[in-house]
Structure 1
Amino acid sequence: MAIPRFTIQASALALITSCAGLGGCASTSPAQAVKADFNGNWSVQWCDKTDPGADCGGFNVDLSQVGDKISGESFGARARLSQIDEGGVVRGVAIGNTAILAIESMRSGGIYLVAATIDGRCMHWKMRDTIRRSERDIDIIAGDDVLTKSSSAPSGNEQESDCRGIPIRRQD
């Protein structure tokens, strides 16, 4: 007895559908990218190695993240505090553990594009481009550095180190 062609096609279609369904259930979906938390105060300290008693400068960003949008302020100072850049406006967007940020110096009007990637309490910071050159002065903005997230609790008597393994000097 011959099996009608329609029955074979319907059976094949049902078999393919059920296999695809089982494969979809059995397979695991790719892991979701972990969304980093850019909120907080991030900084790197720059000290004059030839004069350990001199004041340290550095670069600091205070960021606030809502969803994928990031905003904040920056501050920079050369070692020995010979030049201070008292303010910058930060705006950007987070994509997973990386943020693309634009920093506008309020001192000079310069605007810089930065990629920042978080790894634990460390932020790998890399200036990627200049959007608008500064008009009046040199800006104090980290170029290619590692910023450390400020801890909320004092470390007591222990010497705290930054993400580069360099002891953090507390200014008196």
Structure 2
Amino acid sequence: MRRFAFTLAGLLPVLCAALIACASSPSAWAANANFDGEWSVEWCDRAAPEADCGGFTASLVQDGDRLCGDYSGARVRLTQIDEGGRILGIVIGSTAVLTIESERSGGIYLVQASVDGDRMDWKMRDTVRRADHDIDIIAQNDELKRRTLDAGLKQQHANVTSECQVGFQ
């Protein structure tokens, strides 16, 4: 996975506003929620239940209040596969502010996510940099579920953890 450089000057005002909004709420003083793990949502065509479902998956690693990870996505009927990109963020209480950068298009998106147990409320808030002549498959306003880490997912999550540990130091 390649490393991504974010323009600090561009992201700083957005992250500061998010931090102020979250810090002013009473729940911000509670312990940080656990965002670590594999999260996904499945999108299916109700009119054609036999069709392949698409979806979005985020693999997140948490170190204190910092988040790192990657994502992938696919349209319903698998008409487009998005290999994904990098996720970086910060956790305040049960809320996280995330930046998602697509390896495919260079698009950067701002997401607000909150966790309640094994359920994550994922809301796309803004586009920081538009995709370069491509469409990114990223959850918009969805509920993601924490996936149980079977042997394959444990190895995948271990790989993401290893990549993120370099950034956490």
TM-score normalised by structure 1 residue count: 0.69
Cα separation, 1, equivalents of 2:45 and 2:104: 24
Which structure has the larger Rg over C-alpha atoms? Answer: 1
Secondary structure of 1:80's match?
A: helix
Cα separation, 2, equivalents of 1:36 and 1:43: 17
Residue 120 of structure 1: how far off its partner (Å): 1.0
Residue 48 of structure 1: how far off its partner (Å): 1.0
The equivalent position to 1:118 in structure 2, one of 107, 112, 115, is: 115
Structure 1 residues 52-91: Cα deviation after superposition (integer angstroms, max 9, x where no partner): 1111100000000011110000001000000111121000
User: Percent same amino acid at aligned positions?
Assistant: 57
- Equivalent residue letter for 1:100: V
1:12-51 matched pairs, under 5 angstroms: 32-51=29-48
| Alignment size in residue pairs | 124
Aligned residue in 1 for 2:54: 57
The one of the two structures with greater contact order (alpha-carbon pairs below 8 A, sep at least 6) is 2
The question of 1:68 aligning with 2:65 is answered yes
Aligned residue in 2 for 1:78: 75
Aligned residue in 1 for 2:100: 103
The question of 1:142 aligning with 2:161 is answered no
What's the C-alpha RMSD, in Å, of the aligned pairs?
A: 1.5
Please, which runs of 5 or more residues in structure 2 have no aligned partner?
1-25, 151-169
TM-score normalised by structure 2 residue count: 0.70
- Equivalent residue letter for 2:48: D
Please, which runs of 5 or more residues in structure 1 have no aligned partner?
1-29, 154-172
Cα separation, 2, equivalents of 1:37 and 1:70: 10
Structure 1 residues 126-148: Cα deviation after superposition (integer angstroms, max 9, x where no partner): 00110000002111001101000
Aligned residue in 2 for 1:15: none
Superposed structure 1 runs of 4+ greater than 6 Å apart: none
Structure with higher helix content:
2
